[in-house]
Amino acid sequence: MSVNLATMLREGTKKSHSMAENVGFVKCFLKGVVEKESYRKLVTNLYYVYSAMEEEMEKQRQHPLVSKMYFPELNRKPSLEQDLFYYYGPNWREEISISPAGKAYVERIREVSNNRPELLISHLYTRYLGDLSGGQILKKIAKTAMKLEEGQGTSFYEFEAIADEKAFKNKYRETLDTLPIDEATAQDIVDEANAAFGMNMKLFNELEGNLVKAIGTMLFNTLTRRRSRGNTDTELAAAEN
Ligand code: HEM
């Protein structure tokens, strides 16, 4: 027996998706306001999250259901490592640390893999289909906003082992649709996907404070620079008279 899990996931996470798009950090990102410090913190957390997800997928290679969603061409850990090298330098492993929201997310991935491995599918869906969908737009924004050199710091968005992302997404959805699961399990997978969206929102929310601080500093610097330039202009005018 199979249910239309791909459709259930799409319909069942619609609200979560629009909530995620409306988180301050994401909205700023889409408007091209991307601050390097916040961005590298996000890459760091994603590194821990994908490392856990991909490690647990390796462990579940023999699982009758989860193994059907094993697509190593999606793996992001190596590309995140490249990006971390770019943002932190060669000692990135000593420089990075996980945030509280990142830790909770990773713990949940480990927990579902140990107790209900089929719910790993929710985590794969939420991240990988999202990455395949918005990746190219986000890459362009990141590149322009952080003035990155060509091919630097954006490996995360490059699926080098996937030639046609749209075709791959269709294949992925078809695989979801043909999983032999019952309605109740499918509903649990949708619920977990909504929880995964929530975990992503928590990652973004943590960064919002950073971003607001950075924007505040930028504004403060601009204003004080303008004021001191104004003072200098007045002083010059006074000296000329
Ligand atoms: C930056 C804001 C975002 C934009 C502009 C965006 C945009 C999109 C678009 C246009 C699609 C449809 C692609 C298609 O039909 O093939 C999509 C799908 C998707 N997005 Fe996002 N997205 C954003 C944020 C997120 C976030 C934060 C997540 C989760 C972490 C996410 C997860 C997904 C998933 C799982 C799908 C696949 C839906 C499905 O077809 O089942 N997105 N996104």
CATH architecture of the domain 5-207 equals Up-down Bundle (1.20)
List the one residue out of 54, 46, 73 whose CA is nearest residue 204.
46
Which residue is listed with tokens 């590309």? 79
Q: What average pLDDT does range 2-31 have in this prediction? A: 96
Q: Which residues line ligand 1 (CB under 6 A)?
A: 9-10, 17, 20-21, 26, 30, 125-127, 129-130, 133-134, 169, 197, 200
Is residue 212 over pLDDT 50?
A: yes
Is residue 209 over pLDDT 80?
A: no
Q: What average pLDDT does range 191-210 have in this prediction? A: 94
- Residue 214: what pLDDT? 65
CA of 110 to the centre of ligand 1 (A): 24
* Helix boundaries (H) for the chain: 5-12, 14-21, 24-30, 36-59, 77-88, 92-95, 100-115, 120-124, 130-145, 165-177, 183-240
Q: What average pLDDT does range 84-98 have in this prediction? A: 98
Q: Which of 46, 133, 139, 199 to mutate to test the pocket of ligand 1 (most atoms within 8 A of CB)?
A: 133
- Residue 64: what pLDDT? 96
- Residue 240: what pLDDT? 43
Give the closest residue (by CA) to ligand 1 atom 12: 133
What residues does each domain of the chain span? 5-207
Q: What average pLDDT does range 114-139 have in this prediction? A: 95
- Residue 7: what pLDDT? 98
